[in-house]
Amino acid sequence: MKLNHPALIKSLQTAYSAEKAASFAYIGHAKSLKDKTQVARINEIEQDEWEHREHVLTIMLEYEIPVSKYLEIKYHLIGKIIGFSCYFIGEFMPYFFAGKLESGNVCEYFIMMKYFHTLGIHKHDEILYEMGVKEKEHEDYFLDCVREARWLPLFETIFNWGVKHSYNDVDLADIKPVNQATEYCKNYKVEK
């Protein structure tokens, strides 16, 4: 079965390639760190991103959605550049920008769920929910890493992410169940 939903197809293709960029970035980030506990956590997050890529690919294969060569090359380069930059930009920035990126990723999976629902497809709800929630855990981890940093107030003002700003409305302390998850991310547009 093929999907008649260009926005959903594009989001799946982008997520597939962007998960690789995230994994590459975390490989660089982990290598630039000395603290073993932090390295272990970043390695874990890197593994989560590889798993997300696999899950997204499984969905794409089911609907015969091709992997975009353009996005694969683009995100390959982005991931490598970010990973490499972690050696030079100090301790704060890799955590801050990882958190900001993860914050934006959370809604991607909830919006995919809404897109699928417009086609009457609900069978991917669990996995999309699981990935969205996992991205939120990543965001919260990175936020905790920079919460006390003296640079945070300035970066939060400029980049609009930090203690008071997030790119999603998910709260792990009061998480909605999967059947209410489409209530999240309402500010994002669902196209058909």
- Interface residues toward Fe ion, by CB under 5 A: 19, 49, 52, 102, 135, 138
Least distance from C-beta 123 to Fe ion, angstroms?
20
Give the Cα separation of 189 and 184 in Å (integer). Answer: 12
Least distance from C-beta 66 to Fe ion, angstroms?
21
Least distance from C-beta 52 to Fe ion, angstroms?
4
111, 105, 121: which is closest to 4 by C-alpha? 121
Nearer to Fe ion, 5 or 20 (CB): 20
Q: What is the end-to-end Cα distance of the chain in Å, rounded?
A: 17
Give the Cα separation of 174 and 3 in Å (integer). Answer: 33
Nearer to Fe ion, 106 or 150 (CB): 106
Least distance from C-beta 189 to Fe ion, angstroms?
22
Nearer to Fe ion, 135 or 140 (CB): 135
DSSP-assigned letters across all residues of 72-122: HHHHHHHHHHHHHHTTTSTTHHHHHHHHHHHHHHHHHHHHHHHHHHHTT--
Task: Look up residue 176 and give its two tokens.
Answer: 């909605």
Nearer to Fe ion, 58 or 118 (CB): 58
